[in-house]
Homo-oligomer: A and B are copies of this chain.
Amino acid sequence: MSAASSVTRKHLFHLPEGVIYLDGNSLGPLPNAALVRMQEAMRHEWGDMLIGGWNKAGWMAQPARIGDRIGKLIGAPEGSVVLGDTLSVKVYQALAAALAMRPDRKVVLSDSGNFPTDLYMAEGLIATLGQGHRLEVVDPEDIAARIGPDVAALMLTEVDYRTGRRHDMAALTRAAQDAGAVAIWDLAHSAGALPIDLTAAGAEFAVGCTYKYLNGGPGAPAFIYVRPDLADTVMPALQGWLGHDAPFAFEPAYRPAQGIERMRVGTPPVLQMAALDAALDLWDGVAMEDVRAASIELSERFIAGVEAACPDLALASPRDPAMRGSQVSFRFEHGYEAMQALIAHGVIGDFRAPDIMRFGLTPLFLDTADIDAAVSVLTRVIGEDMWRDPAYAKRSKVT
């Protein structure tokens, strides 16, 4: 039995007929259970319990309870992860807390492979602080050399959203801490994609989203991790009432809750959380090591197939699977048009400027037969050349 066939649970997803979905790294597909769970949450919780749902249906406890479920997938202990808001907001919270921990240092170090919103949020925070911080963005391979005594926070995304290139989280965290800096990791393309051990890495903060490999649905909430020894001392910049020690006492002044709860802000997105909760059931009984083995099997097979049949496509991801996340990207001059044509033929990946064709390899709902079929369609599309006609991409967009 192949690694891939041991973890696939395709029948638990709603996957349209005739589609091979290689974009689960951008938006995971619909788990059938999420549809059922949402009906239940709407009809029996919101509908029947009304305001009582906050306690009776456990809505108030959702962010921490579901946080613990995600914690298990990223090597975080119970009580160290909480759900809420968007990833952008969670980046802001983590970075604000990190900079407050190193008031004498002014550099936020990141790399050009970071997702833009992380950099934008850092810029916005720095402008708001008005304390002379600066964001320094270097090439991913130059990060280690740049870490130094002026760096307050090292803020990186573990897996590059374009190329799938993976940082060595443990080594860079150690290097940052050796230089006295605080480490913040964005796990957007890691959570549910590969084994992560936050405890072993020792990072102070981590954030991530749940609508990619965790299949929580469009707009599913983000999560934040704070290392347990810091959770009672970090002072939140976003002091929301649900991060208050006694939210229903309606006290006039803010007192942070104990532990990770202080990183909550406002009212949690209860309905989105219900869908996410059902989606997380898919991970019960699945070892992340097996998912990783399957992901590597699928991606190696995909790379070999594409390289054999489409010499115009150049691998943009690291060749060593240990250095990749769970996606594979190829550079191709006509990548945008080719991706449109591919999608029109039922193989869904996506495109990132200027020339990246991106494919997510997600073993929970893809098997080797899907990969072979995708390679075959890609080979045909690239060979056909019809997409080189400028009218084509436009036409195929409506499909």
Q: Given A35-B42, A88-B241, A252-B116, answer yes or no on A130-B127 (Cβ-Cβ < 8 Å).
A: no
Contact with B along A250-263 (1 / 0, CB 8 A): 11111000000000
Q: Which of B87, B128, B353 contacts A96 (CB 8 A)?
A: B128
- Among B48, B209, B267, which residue has its beta carbon within 8 angstroms of that of A211? B267
Of the candidates B29, B35, B130, B269, the one whose C-beta lies within 8 Å of that of A219 is B269
Report the separation of the CA atoms of residues A88 and B39 in the bound assembly, to the nearest whole angstrom: 28
Contacts A29-B47, A47-B30; A265 near B53 (Cβ below 8 A): no
Cβ-defined contact, B123 with A253, below 8 A:
yes
- Contact (Cβ within 8 A) A218 B53: yes
Assembled-state Cα–Cα distance A350/B54 (Å)? 13
Within 8 A of B (CB), among A4-18: 14, 16
Q: How far is the CA of A129 from the CA of B127 in the complex (A)?
A: 9
Report the separation of the CA atoms of residues A222 and B85 in the bound assembly, to the nearest whole angstrom.
Answer: 11
Q: Verify if A200 is at the interface (C-beta below 8 Å from B).
A: no
A123 and chain B: residue at smallest CB distance: B254
Q: Which of A269-288 contact B (CB under 8 A)?
A: 269-273, 275
* Nearest CB in chain B to that of A399: its residue: B52
Residues of B within 8 Å of A250, CB to CB, are: 116, 352-353
A237 within 8 A of B: yes
Q: Is A176 an interface residue (CB 8 A)?
A: no
In the complex, A124 Cα to B89 Cα: how many Å?
14
Judge if A21 is at the interface, Cβ distance under 8 Å: yes
A236 at the interface (CB under 8 A from B): yes
Q: Which residues of B contact A220 (CB under 8 A)?
A: 269
Q: In the bound complex, how far is the Cα of B127 from the Cα of A48, in angstroms?
A: 42
Within 8 A of B (CB), among A50-65: 50-54, 59
- In the bound complex, residues from chain B placing their C-beta under 8 Å from that of A272 are 219, 269, 271-272
| B117 x A252 contact (CB < 8 A) | no
A116 to B245, CA, bound (A): 13
Provide the A45-86 mask, 1 if CB < 8 A to any CB of B, else 0.
111101111100001000000000000000000000000011
C-alpha spacing A34/B219, complex, angstroms = 17
Task: Tell me if B266 and A222 are in contact (CB < 8 A).
Answer: yes
Output the least CB separation between A250 and chain B (Å). Answer: 5
Q: Which B-chain residue is minimally distant from A45 (CB atoms)?
A: B218
The reply on A137 being an interface residue by CB < 8 A is yes
A-B contact pairs, 5 of them (CB 8 A): A52-B348, A117-B241, A119-B253, A128-B129, A211-B267
List residues of A whose CB falls within 8 A of some B CB: 14, 16, 19, 21, 23, 26-27, 29-30, 34-35, 38-39, 42-43, 45-48, 50-54, 59, 85-89, 92, 96, 112, 115-117, 119-121, 123-125, 127-131, 137, 209, 211, 217-222, 235-242, 244, 248-254, 265-273, 275, 343, 348, 350, 352-353
Q: Which 10 A-B pairs have the closest CB atoms?
A: A86-B266, A124-B239, A117-B241, A218-B270, A88-B266, A219-B269, A219-B270, A88-B240, A120-B254, A30-B47
